[in-house]
Amino acid sequence: MKKLLFCLLLSASAAASANPDLAKAKNCMACHAVANKVVGPAFKDIAAKYAGQKDAEAKLAQKIIKGGSGVWGAVPMPANTQVSEAEARTLTKWILAQK
Q: What is the model's pLDDT at position 16?
A: 46
Q: The pTM is what?
A: 0.81
| pLDDT recorded at residue 99 | 87
**Tens digits of per-residue pLDDT, 1-43?**
444 333 333 334 444 446 899 999 999 999 999 999 999 999 9
Domains of the chain from N-terminus onward: 19-96 (1.10.760.10)
Per-position DSSP letters for 6-57, written without gaps between them: HHHHHHHHHHHHHHHHHHHHTTGGGT--SSS-SSS--HHHHHHHHTT-TTHH
Mean pLDDT of 83-95: 97
| 3-state SS class at 63 | helix
Q: What is the chain's mean pLDDT, rounded?
A: 86
Q: Among 25, 29, 17, 7, which residue's Cα sits nearest to residue 97? A: 17
